[in-house]
Amino acid sequence: MPRIAYVNGQYVPHRNARVHVEDRGYQFADGIYEVCLVIGGKYWDLDGHLARLERSLKELKMRAPMQRASLIVVMQEVLARNHLRDALVYMQVTRGVAPRNHPFPSDIIEPALVVTAQRFDLDASDAQAEQGGSVITQLDIRWGRVDIKTVALLPNVLAKQAAKSVGAVEAWLVRDGKVTEGSSSNAWIVDQNGVLITHPKGHEILGGITRENVIVCAEELQIKVEERPFTTDEAHGASEAFLTSAANIVLPVTQIDGKPVGAGAPGPVALRLREAYKARARRLA
């Protein structure tokens, strides 16, 4: 059965999905996106993702393509037409189609909306978490407002490719000697005293929705959390490390730049937080 995508008011076969050559997302990366996880037909953290989508639109002075309730209907329809119950749903909004010119076009231009879905295998994700993964560090060369979830991801792509080329699952980005976040995830370490450390929210990182809920889970488990930058030396000397994102949930990091973290195996804190997050997400879905 062919995949179905929603493109600007129409549900079309994925292979036939198209955007205009003068769509500003294509021309200028003038657009934003979100990725939501669906398990058993229920969204995890949907309100958080839609709130962040709306914030990104506001920060870029971009109109919403439709009201939140209507967007949820479209998302549900895409899932139904693809016969998916475990999926990643991708939403992209651009400023729309206009003759190529750097300034914003007229307000009469309609924003463009694309929604797609792809199958997600939670069992495979759990198996990956039991094994863990390695990360490398890369210089953070992104622009100064990465708190806005834009489609301008070329530096992230280059970092992710550098990781893939050496068999790592992620690249942790470093600015002024401190880890900001991963190319598509938030970065965490556990120090030798059992304290969780992750970079604070601000313009330097994209505040992950999974990140926010992991902090709540840690507090419920009475695990101390410090939101502060940490250095690469601290990361190499940590007892544990992990990353968080909608697609990875909580993924233990076992090596950084080829050096083992702690015992070189998934740590108990990360695995406890993964299970706590999954239980919380199911409870609130």
83-99: pLDDT as tens digits: 999 999 999 999 999 99
- CATH code of the domain containing 183: 3.20.10.10
For residues 65 and 197, membership in a common domain is answered with: no
For residues 102 and 171, membership in a common domain is answered with: no
- CATH code of the domain containing 74: 3.30.470.10
> Stretch 151-170: mean pLDDT, rounded?
98
For residues 153 and 261, membership in a common domain is answered with: yes
pLDDT at position 251 is: 98
- The boundaries of the domain holding residue 56 are 4-120
1 band by pLDDT with thresholds 50, 70 and 90: low
For residues 17 and 73, membership in a common domain is answered with: yes
For residues 259 and 193, membership in a common domain is answered with: yes
For residues 86 and 154, membership in a common domain is answered with: no
For residues 132 and 76, membership in a common domain is answered with: no
pLDDT at position 107 is: 80
> Active site residue: 58, 61, 149, 178, which one?
149
For residues 135 and 250, membership in a common domain is answered with: yes
pLDDT at position 63 is: 95
Tens-place pLDDT, residues 163-193: 999 999 999 999 999 999 999 999 999 999 9
For residues 68 and 19, membership in a common domain is answered with: yes
For residues 70 and 44, membership in a common domain is answered with: yes
> Stretch 223-247: mean pLDDT, rounded?
98
Structural domains of the chain, count: 2
pLDDT at position 53 is: 98
C-alpha distances (whole Å) from 223 to each of 18, 243, 263 are 47, 17, 20
pLDDT at 108 over 90: no
On average, the pLDDT of the chain sits at 97
149 part of the active site = yes
pLDDT at 80 over 80: yes
106 band by pLDDT with thresholds 50, 70 and 90: confident
Among residues 120, 154, 173, the one where a domain terminates is: 120
Among residues 69, 103, 120, the one where a domain terminates is: 120
pLDDT at 273 over 80: yes
User: What tokens were used for 252?
Assistant: 């233990």
Percent of all residues in the chain with a pLDDT value above 90, rounded to a whole number: 98
pTM of the model as a whole: 0.96
Among residues 100, 120, 140, the one where a domain terminates is: 120
For residues 197 and 244, membership in a common domain is answered with: yes
For residues 233 and 262, membership in a common domain is answered with: yes
